Structure formats: structure tokens, C-alpha cells
Amino acid sequence: MTELATGLIVLFLIFFYLGLGVWVFIGLISVSLTVQFFILDMSPDTIGAIATKIMVRSASSWELAAIPMFIWMGDIIFRTDISRRLFDGLAPIVNIIPGRLLHANIVGCTVFAAVSGSSTATAVTVGKISLEELSARGYDRSLAVGSLAGAGSLGLLIPPSIVMIVYGILAEVSIISLFAAGVLPGLMIAALYSGYISLRAKTGDGIVPQVAEGGGGNIPRVRLADLVNLLPVALLIVVVLGSIYSGLATPSEAAAIGVLAALVIAFVTGQLSLDLLTQSVMSSVKMSAMVVSLVVAAALLSTTMGYLHLPQNVATMISGMELSPYALIALLAAFYVLLGLFLEGISITVMSLPITLPLIVQAGFDPLWFGVFLILMVELATITPPVGFNLFVLQGLTNMSISQIARASMPFFLLLCVGVVLLTLFPEIALWLPETIRGGGG
């Protein structure tokens, strides 16, 4: 049980440093250095060599580049009237749905997930566009933030997806099949989220503003002018999605198309100015610095966990238990939720896969299905404290505290767990679409 003890020590160190109130990235780096020096018994030279290499490597990443670019795109939308118009246009349309504009984060993240391969980029971009609008319109802040944290992680499940690409390469599963397999589970999760929001809106007070917007009277009226308001964002989505599916841009490059499209829209609507440019660039640069500081610190922490052999040893322990298929899945789910407390998506995948994948295949599960299962586990990790990226970026966006955001995300964590159960009981949710495509396409 030394694994358990080590895991608890690391967890304690994280709570200790972060609780102290140091900046999160400083805290996570401190945890790593402490563990390397005291537990792994490494010399300062070795620690320095490891830490600087990981720092440079994790920050100089092509896959990471989409994040600052999408942040910039979101910031342009935020600073022009594109975001206000979007909500003005949506308001009368959603009037009849319980929860009204509170669904905006879920729909927004689902759509944005189709252009972005990252959970962080999805949460931060949609959040920049929606959160202030929702607050100003009197919607429940906790539900808005929680749904954003939960739905942001759809960026990984709905194609394209960076973690799916990594899984596909390592598990030798077709990336295209994986992408197809993520679509229905992604829509299912979105539906679960929306169902929950409708339920809360019907049963709770003060969740949505009293007066319906746009229509004024009892009967909501959708006018042509409202639809025109939706045009800029619709155009933006069509252009970026179109650039990916026409083969013009890779998913990694689509963010640059998004920035260009947002700038063109700002220009055409007469809102592009030097002020807007400099303000949006400088604010994006700062936000990106915050995100990358966390990426670097989390990478160092996961490297440290790798040196501890913690994920490998626990996975090996599970493999020695000879469990029935469903018991194995249940135990693996618990294992991944625990790993997700400390680690982020790609780390979780690469560290556990060499041991868990053979187990899964032996137990008779389809590696394609397991890919989707693993993505759901990774999604859970993005909203669990103490190390949860969606929690971090939302703190950066809202100035709410991590514990508040974690509490607001809790229902969505549970809904994701429901999604995992459904996916396990009905694997066809993931497997039907790729099989149909393969069957039809030859």
C-alpha cells in the first residue's frame, strides 16, 4: 500500500501549497520540487535538468497554439457587439424553453467543440463571450459557471479532439473512427446537461430572470431582426467549421481562421479600431500567460507522478486482480477519477494506457469504445479539484474562488458520471456511428 501512502502525501502537499494562497502554478511547481527532492531523493542538478526541460517542452507545443488564438478570437467577439447581438438574437427564440439563455453555454460549447480540440480553449472562449452577458441579464451565476465548466469539456468528446488523437496514435485505433464515436456521446452529455438546467429552472427561484426577454408579452415572437443578430456568429461558425471539413485547415490551424473571421466581421461592422486591436491582443496575451503557466506546472506535476511510477503501479495492481468485465470497468473508473484529481487529460492517457488497454481488450471491450470511456474520464478530471483546468480558467474569467466553481460544477460532474454508466451499459451509443460510417463508406 505504499502507492496509497505516496498518493496521499502528494494530495496533502497540493492542498498545503494551494491552501497557503500561493499562486496555483507556483504551488504545483513547489509540490513537484518537494516530491522530487524529498521522496524521489533527486539531486538539485537532476531536478533543475528535469524541471527546465519540461517547462520548455510543455510550453513550446504546436497543439497548445490553438489556445491563445482562440482566446484572442473570443476576446474580439467579447469587445465588439457580436456577443450582445448573439444573446439578443437568441433570447426570443429560447423564451419557451425552461432555463432560457442558461442553455447558451451548453449549446455554445457543443458548437464550439466542433471546431476546437481542447477543453480549455472551449471553456475559456465560450465563457469570455457568454458569462458577462448572462450575469447582466440576471441568470443564476452558479448554474452558468457550472454548466460552462461541464460543457467546456465537450471540446474533448466532440471532434476534433487532441486527446482522441493521442489515444488513437498510442492505442492504434483509427482517429476518424474515434472522432465519429465521440459525436453521439457528446450530444448525449449535452442533452443531460440541458435536461438538468430545465429541471432546475422549473423548480428553483431566481435561476432565470423574471421577465421574458424580447417578446414582452406572453407569446414569444421571433422577429426577423432577431435572426439578423445571429448572423455574425453563424457566419463565424460556418467559416471555421467549413475550413476544417473542406480540408483547407487542420483542426490545429482553424483557430487562426477564427481570428481572421472575427477581425473581418469587426471590420465590416465598423467596429475594428486600433484600440480594439491592442486591447484584445494584450488581454489575450495575459490570459494565455495564465493558462500556459498552469500547463507548465501541471506538466511538471505529471512528470513527477511518472517518476513516482504511481499510475503504472496502481494500474498493474488492478491488472493482477482478475476482475469480471463490469467490476474491472468500475474499478478503472474509480482509478481514473482519482488520477484526475492530480493530472490532466493527455498525462492520464499516456501514463495509464500501456497497462489498462491490454486489460480492457482481454476483458472483451472494444478499444474504440474504451477511447470514448477514457475521454469521459478525462472530462471528469477537468472539473475535479485540486487540479482541474476548467476550474482554473473559470477562476481566471470570473474571479470566483476555486471552491465556489468546484461546487457549481458538482452537479455536472455527477451528470458526466451518469453518462459513463449509460455508455458502459449501452456501448452502441459510441459504436453505432463509426460502424454505420464504415459499413456505408466501404
Residues binding Na ion (CB under 5 A) = 113, 117, 155, 158, 161, 340, 381, 384, 387-388
Instruction: Please identify, using beta-carbon distances, which residue of 69 and 420 lies nearer to another protein.
Output: 69
Instruction: Kindly state the smallest distance separating residue 392's Cβ from Na ion, in Å.
Output: 10
The full DSSP string for 318-358 is HHTT---HHHHHHHHHHHHHHHHHH--HHHHHHHHHHHHHH
Peptide bond into 386 cis (omega under 30): yes
CB 391 within 8 A of CB 409: yes
For 15, the 3-state DSSP assignment is helix
Instruction: Please identify, using beta-carbon distances, which residue of 52 and 269 lies nearer to another protein.
Output: 52
Instruction: Kindly state the smallest distance separating residue 60's Cβ from Na ion, in Å.
Output: 23
Contacted entry of another protein, Na ion, none for residue 132, CB cut-off 5 to 8 Å set by kind: none
Instruction: Kindly state the smallest distance separating residue 159's Cβ from another protein, in Å.
Output: 9
**DSSP code at position 184:** H
- Residue 20 touches another protein, criterion: CB under 8 A: yes
Place of cell 482519482: 338
Instruction: Please identify, using beta-carbon distances, which residue of 59 and 199 lies nearer to another protein.
Output: 59
CB 43 within 8 A of CB 252: no
Options 11, 93, 175, 241; binder of another protein; rule CB under 8 A? 175
Residues 322 and 313: their CA atoms lie apart, in Å, by 16
**Cα dist from 372 to 87, 95, 97, 112, 430, whole Å:** 32, 34, 30, 19, 7
Instruction: Please identify, using beta-carbon distances, which residue of 190 and 381 lies nearer to Na ion.
Output: 381
- Residue 371 touches another protein, criterion: CB under 8 A: no
- Residue 171 touches another protein, criterion: CB under 8 A: yes
Binding to another protein, residues 350-369 (CB under 8 A): 350-351, 353-354, 357
Contacted entry of another protein, Na ion, none for residue 340, CB cut-off 5 to 8 Å set by kind: Na ion
Where do runs of H (alpha helix) occur along 95-174? 104-113, 119-136, 141-152, 154-157, 162-171
- Residue 229 touches another protein, criterion: CB under 8 A: no
Phi, psi angles (nearest 5°) of residue 216: 85, -60
Residues 87 and 85: their CA atoms lie apart, in Å, by 5
**DSSP code at position 212:** P
Options 21, 206, 364, 439; binder of another protein; rule CB under 8 A? 21
| Contacting residues for 414 by C-beta, under 8 A, at least 6 apart | none
- Over the window 285 to 314, marking each residue x when it contacts another protein by CB under 8 A and - when it does not, the resulting string is xxxxxxxxxx----xx-xx--xx-x--x--
Count of residues of this chain found to bind another protein when the rule CB under 8 A is applied: 107
- Residue 54 touches another protein, criterion: CB under 8 A: yes
Instruction: Kindly state the smallest distance separating residue 220's Cβ from Na ion, in Å.
Output: 32
| Contacting residues for 44 by C-beta, under 8 A, at least 6 apart | 37
Contacted entry of another protein, Na ion, none for residue 248, CB cut-off 5 to 8 Å set by kind: another protein
**DSSP code at position 250:** -
The closest of 129, 127, 128 to 145, measured between CA atoms, is 127
Instruction: Please identify, using beta-carbon distances, which residue of 194 and 384 lies nearer to Na ion.
Output: 384
Q: Which amino acid is at 413?
A: F
Instruction: Kindly state the smallest distance separating residue 314's Cβ from another protein, in Å.
Output: 14
Instruction: Kindly state the smallest distance separating residue 268's Cβ from Na ion, in Å.
Output: 28
- Residue 105 touches another protein, criterion: CB under 8 A: no
Instruction: Kindly state the smallest distance separating residue 380's Cβ from another protein, in Å.
Output: 20
Instruction: Please identify, using beta-carbon distances, which residue of 91 and 301 lies nearer to Na ion.
Output: 301
Place of cell 489575450: 284
- Residue 424 touches another protein, criterion: CB under 8 A: no
- Over the window 246 to 285, marking each residue x when it contacts another protein by CB under 8 A and - when it does not, the resulting string is xxxxxxxx-xxx-xx-----------------x--xx-xx
Contacted entry of Na ion, another protein, none for residue 381, CB cut-off 5 to 8 Å set by kind: Na ion
Instruction: Please identify, using beta-carbon distances, which residue of 80 and 116 lies nearer to Na ion.
Output: 116
The full DSSP string for 369-400 is HHHHHHHHHHHHHHTSSSS-HHHHHHHHHH--
- Residue 136 touches another protein, criterion: CB under 8 A: no
Question: For helices 274-308 and 325-342, what crossing angle results, to 10°?
Answer: 120
